């Protein structure tokens, strides 16, 4: 039997991990935008706690893997010394606002496709096209110019990365091996305490399971690309779950299959859809759903376009920056995810108020 290539092993493993992600997210209704909506509209924090629990678990597991030398996080895009603070803010705000217009973030779009939602197919295609345009197409021209003008090269300030532990090391002189846990320990501990200390959350098994399983899938992604994909001749880029750029890559891959090579991101996109589909079929919840009217169609398409642009500018989505990026303790990821949440709240108020100015006034008044 011919040995499988590293590319095939990584893609196959990523697909299986994606299936688990999709099935769990479908069954537990795991969704960051939904979590924000629950808080804004109902004061229900359970889905938000599931997401925060996933972040806490991802941080602890990822930092442990890095500490024992299993993976080299310095190779992750989230920890480069080029600090794109403005892209994280603007991109995050755009993504957060766009996901409310499109009815869900990138991973929720994949989950809904698996459940039979035709609207999400349109969202995926538009998101993918605009993500690719922003990454390496027409919009990329402006993005690159903006990055060149605003990025801060932290190496000129004696920093090797934008990681919070490295920044603390620079400020205090404490060794990186210690500052790693001075940041990761209290942060992850606070998140776990905030989540598991709530009785309503603990009494909701689906939310707890969602947080634990999806949190563990982040280090699983690092292991797949950093350990299984560690090859001297054909190394795999170190990454874990993220969906905006991979959705763009997936759309392009489907069109140029014979001349393209699958990667971890493309495989996980397919896996999430399949996992969600299997869960929907198993629970008899698979249902074809289309747009209600023209306004619904236009709103979803505009939201998808904004998400595609914002997600690439911010280097990730609620999963890519919120879980994978945060697991690296990146300062840029923290800025991006706070901006995404802010954009999401603004988007909710926009839908509620019917105008952008009214939404902004409401948010500022309650802020």
pLDDT tens digit sequence for 122-180: 999 999 999 999 999 999 999 999 999 999 999 999 999 999 999 999 999 999 999 99
What are the start-end ranges of the H helices in 197-263?
A: 199-202, 205-223, 244-255
Residues 6+ apart with CB under 8 A from 227: 70, 71
3-state helix, strand, coil in the chain (%, to 5): 75, 0, 25
What's the mean pLDDT in 191-212? Answer: 97
Domain ranges (residues) in the chain: 6-366
Instruction: Name the percent of the chain lying above pLDDT 70.
Output: 96
**Confidence band, pLDDT 50/70/90 cuts, at residue 1:** very low
Residue 209 pLDDT exceeds 50: yes
Mean pLDDT value across residues 348-365: 67
Q: How far apart are CA 228 and CA 222, in angstroms?
A: 9
- pLDDT grade, residue 365 (50/70/90)? low
Q: What percent of the chain has pLDDT over 90?
A: 90
Tens digits of per-residue pLDDT, 292-333?
999 999 999 999 999 999 999 999 999 999 999 999 999 999
Buried-state track 180-215, b at ≥16 Cβ within 10 A, e below 16 = beebbeebbeebbebbeeeeebeebeebbebbebbb
| Mean pLDDT of the residues in the chain | 94
More confident residue, 79 or 364: 79
* Cβ contact 132:251 at 8 Å: yes
Could you report the per-residue pLDDT of 3-17, keeping only the tens digit for each?
Answer: 788 999 999 999 999
Whether pLDDT at 356 is above 90: no
Distances (CA, A) of 169 to 4, 64, 71, 162, 347: 42, 18, 21, 11, 38
Residue 277 has pLDDT above 50, yes or no: yes
How does pLDDT run across 217-246, given as a tens digit for each residue?
999 999 999 999 998 787 899 999 999 999
Q: Give the DSSP per-residue string, 35-76.
A: HHHHHHHH---HHHHHHHHHHHHHHHHHHHHHHTTSS-GGGS
Query: Residue 58 pLDDT more than 90?
Result: yes
pLDDT at 353: 79
Please say if the pLDDT value at position 116 is more than 50.
Answer: yes
């Amino acid at each position: 039997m011919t040995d499988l290539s590293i590319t095939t092993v990584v893609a196959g493993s990523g697909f299986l991990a994606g299936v688990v992600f999709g099935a769990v997210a479908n069954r537990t209704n795991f969704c960051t935008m939904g979590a924000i909506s629950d808080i804004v509209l109902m004061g229900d924090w359970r889905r938000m706690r599931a997401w925060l629990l996933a972040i806490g678990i991802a941080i602890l597991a990822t930092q442990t893997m890095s500490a024992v030398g299993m993976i080299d996080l310095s190779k992750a895009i989230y920890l480069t010394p080029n600090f794109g603070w403005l892209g994280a803010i603007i991109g995050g705000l755009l993504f957060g606002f766009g996901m409310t217009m499109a009815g869900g973030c990138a991973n929720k779009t994949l989950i809904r496709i698996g459940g039979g939602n035709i609207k999400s197919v349109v969202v995926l295609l538009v998101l993918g096209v605009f993500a690719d345009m922003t990454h390496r197409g027409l919009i990329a021209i402006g993005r690159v110019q903006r990055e060149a003008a605003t990025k801060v090269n932290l190496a000129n300030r004696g920093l090797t990365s934008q990681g919070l532990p490295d920044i603390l090391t620079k400020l205090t002189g404490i060794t990186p091996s210690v500052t790693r846990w001075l940041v990761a320990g209290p942060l992850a501990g606070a998140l776990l305490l905030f989540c598991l200390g709530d009785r309503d959350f603990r009494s909701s098994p689906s939310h707890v399971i969602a947080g634990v399983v999806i949190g563990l899938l982040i280090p699983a992604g690092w292991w797949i690309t950093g350990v299984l994909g560690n090859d001297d001749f054909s190394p795999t880029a170190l990454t874990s779950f993220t969906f905006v750029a991979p959705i763009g890559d997936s759309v392009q891959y489907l069109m140029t299959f014979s001349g393209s090579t699958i990667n971890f991101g493309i495989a996980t996109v397919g896996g999430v859809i399949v996992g969600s589909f299997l869960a929907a079929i198993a629970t008899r919840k698979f249902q074809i759903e289309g747009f209600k009217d023209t306004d619904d169609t236009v709103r979803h398409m505009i939201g998808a376009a904004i998400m595609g642009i914002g997600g690439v500018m911010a280097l990730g989505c609620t999963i890519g920056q919120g879980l994978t990026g945060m697991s690296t303790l990146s300062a840029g990821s923290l800025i991006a995810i706070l901006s995404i949440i802010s954009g999401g709240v603004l988007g909710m108020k926009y839908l509620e108020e019917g105008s952008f100015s009214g939404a902004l006034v409401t948010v500022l008044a309650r802020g």
